Amino acid sequence: MSKGFRTPPAAKTKDKFQELQTELANSQMAVRLTQMMVKQLLDQIQNVRLDVDNTMGMLNDFQYRTLAMLELSGIAKKDIDAKADALKLADYNKASQAEDAMKGYLDDSNGVVNEASVVTITSSTNGDEDRGIFRSKFPMSECLTPSIKEKLMGLKVGDSFEEQIKNDLHKITLVGLNKITKNEEGENDGEKDQSN
């Protein structure tokens, strides 16, 4: 006792040694668990890589067989590309119409692009291989590229402009225009219109 206060008894060397042994054992267990988790993760990554390699092999084989069929059949590649694009467009339009119905977008094909518009664009590039955008649909409030947003404002369906995107000059064409309907609270059916 010191000046009226009881001091805790000093820890014995034996107790300190046991505490250190316990902490060491816990640390060793944690290291072992971490090693097991890392090994499991590496095994999973290796399995994924094998799957990707197998898939790439099948895709390469499929590509060569398709090219061989085209050559042997005498069908022009441009005709195949046109048909594939038509099928892709039909699927896109079906999904887009379902989205319009779900989100309450109304057709505004005769209007002009404004802040409350939902635009659908396509693009083609000037390179040897067209790296254009097949379709992209977004509300103007979500357009994060100021130069594209500025060029879209006031356009009508069918209008085009050019924009440099990642070392390619894209000719961007407005192919669809919708407007967002508002409910009584001034919100889009379940979604808020957020400006940049």
Q: Which residues contact 99 (CB under 8 A, 6 or more apart)?
A: 105, 137
One-letter amino acid identity for 112?
V
Here the contacts of 181-187 (C-beta below 8 Å, separation 24 or greater) are 181/104, 181/105, 181/106
Each residue's pLDDT expressed in tens, for the chain with a length of 196 residues = 455 666 666 667 778 888 888 888 899 999 999 999 999 999 889 888 888 888 988 988 988 888 888 888 888 888 888 899 999 999 999 999 999 999 999 999 999 999 999 999 999 987 667 788 899 999 999 998 999 999 999 999 999 999 988 888 999 999 999 998 865 334 444 444 333 3
Supply the pTM of this predicted model. Answer: 0.58
Q: Which residues contact 193 (CB under 8 A, 6 or more apart)?
A: 116, 139, 141, 180, 187
